[in-house]
Chain A
Amino acid sequence: MSTEENIVIRTEKLVKSFGENHVLKGFDLELNKGENLVVLGKSGSGKSVLIKCMVGLLYPDSGLVSVFGKEIPKLTQLELDELRTKIGFLFQSSALYDSMTVRENLEFPLRRHWMHKTKDEVNELVMEALKNVGLERAVDLMPSELSGGMRKRIGLARTLILKPEIMLYDEPTTGLDPITGREISNLIVAIQEKYHTSSIIITHDMECAKIVANRIMILIDGFKYTVGTYDELVKSDDPKIKPFFA
């Protein structure tokens, strides 16, 4: 059950438009501590816009978006940067820094936020993060030498290195073969269990949703259409919900 202390992310009547394109028209969402919430929606329905509003990459036109009770649009840059260290964001493209090796990619946020760490401690954290995603051997590779699945894993390791309390996944299995997609989905569950993270997973991959979701929220026409568990929604006869599970 949602109680005030239990809610880590909340959006209320969130509105976001790009010119004449009204993407979110009053979206409400609550993410509870420790849960995996999957947001389902068609391509272009505003799922990625939603999570970008949660980390201050985009600002809503109106409505509330708060993380740990702090309203994102009202934060100063310094406060926002501090809050962002508690949020991990896995981009659809993984967004690895392609001029840096895997090690440098992982060290990048560490050296800026945990400056007191010694070289050995940094190395230990890098190797631990890579071990979590099963890619210790890739430490000295360049991103261009990695496969799509490896890039996702390294992207995940980079977000995990600062031990975030919230994870936001933007289509984590898109572009991957079913086996690798399943591995990434299982990794998301393993991360939730190991680090007790609260996560929002944006996807339209039903297998991923089935594996990772504690709750599923369906976004249609810029509004929250419904919310429920996978088992509840899969049995639904609603013509708007059925196509997602067909």
Chain B
Amino acid sequence: MSKQSRRSEFLSEVGNISAFTGKFFREGFKPRYEWSELFRQCYIIGYESFPLVGITAFIMGLVLTVQSRPTLEEFGAASYLPAMVAVSIVREIGPVITALICAGKIGSSIGAELGSMRVTEQIDAMEVSGTNPFKYLVVTRVIACTMMLPILVVLADGIGLYASYIGVNLKGIVSWNLYTTQVFESLTFSDVMPALVKTYFFGFAIGIIGCYKGYFSNKGTEGVGIAANSAVVVSSLMIFVIDLIAVQIADILGLT
């Protein structure tokens, strides 16, 4: 494939995703609302992802603490360990790692599910029955992702901080009260808010990319695999792009 055709393919993909997002905003707020499907998706995306997110957050908190200790000790700043880990987890590592885990788990499952519905004509069947498949399949999943990701991130932050407490106590003795005091004294509004706000965008990106890739899947069963794979790749990339933009905006607003 030539450079020019690759560039035009990329630009048309960007255009198509933008149009798909535009359709989401046009369709998303018009009745009929698919409440039961929305709650089902919230359960699948939120509740069923929690064990994986929780285990990852626990390991992340523990490893970060254990690996940071020697460096801080070298500078005689071991007492800053809880504060440093808390800021790292809440500001950056918690949201980004959780979003990446969800991009892998949720993005791929949405891409594969909608992709297989497309190739087995289930989406066409909804359409010819006079039902709006975009509302039923896309709007519900995107909203569920957008709503559930911040909750998963908050839970992951909590689990990560608890794991960090265990990590701190592996080579020392710090009481729970002292640990939590140090953690909460180090965290400010500008640490928590931008991190929380960007998770909504992470969730939205995972939902919209997963749905887009699945909804327009083609080439039969091979297309389902491609849809699942590209949903993960593109949404993971989008998470980093959004993170970069969020950092710049927070910097401009003085929230750093």
Interface on A for B, CB 8 Å cutoff? 52, 55-57, 81-82, 84-85, 87, 89, 91-93, 95-99, 108-109, 112-113, 158-159, 162
Contact = CB atoms under 8 A, between A and B. Distances in A.
Contacts of A158: 129
Nearest to A81: B130
Q: Which 8 A-B pairs have the closest CB atoms?
A: A95-B125, A84-B130, A95-B121, A81-B130, A109-B129, A89-B128, A85-B130, A91-B121
Contact of B129 (A82, A84, A99): A84
Interface string B104-147: 00000000010001001110111111111000000000000000
Contacts of A87: 128
A89 B125 contact: yes
Contacts of A89: 125, 128-129
Interface string B51-79: 00000000000000000000000000000
Contact of A57 (B113, B122, B124, B132): B124
Residue picked from B117, B130, B132, most chain A C-beta under 10 Å:
B130
A112 B124 contact: no
A84 B131 CA distance: 9
Given A57-B127, A97-B117, A109-B130, 11 more contacts: A57-B124, A84-B128, A85-B129, A92-B121, A95-B124, A96-B122, A97-B125, A97-B126, A112-B130, A112-B131, A159-B129
A96 B116 CA distance: 12
A13 B128 CA distance: 24
A206 B122 CA distance: 28
Contacts, number: 54
B32 interface: yes
A91 B125 contact: yes
Interface of B: 32, 113, 117, 120-122, 124-132
A98 B130 contact: no
Contacts of A92: 121
Contacts of B122: 95-98
10 contacts: A81-B132, A84-B129, A89-B125, A91-B125, A93-B121, A95-B121, A98-B120, A109-B129, A109-B130, A112-B129
A171 to B, nearest CB: 12
B121 A162 contact: no
Contacts of A85: 129-130
A81 B129 CA distance: 8
A159 to B, nearest CB: 8
B26 to A, nearest CB: 11
B85 to A, nearest CB: 41
B38 to A, nearest CB: 15
B125 to A, nearest CB: 4
A109 B131 contact: yes
B32 A112 contact: yes
B33 to A, nearest CB: 12
Contacts of B129: 84-85, 89, 108-109, 112, 158-159, 162
Residue picked from A52, A55, A85, A95, most chain B C-beta under 10 Å:
A95
A112 B126 CA distance: 11
A95 B133 CA distance: 14
Residue picked from B32, B117, B122, most chain A C-beta under 10 Å:
B122
Contacts of B128: 55, 57, 84, 87, 89
Residue picked from B121, B122, B128, most chain A C-beta under 10 Å:
B128
A98 B130 CA distance: 19
B124 A91 contact: yes
Contacts of B125: 89, 91, 95-97
Contacts of A52: 124
A44 to B, nearest CB: 15
A159 B129 CA distance: 8
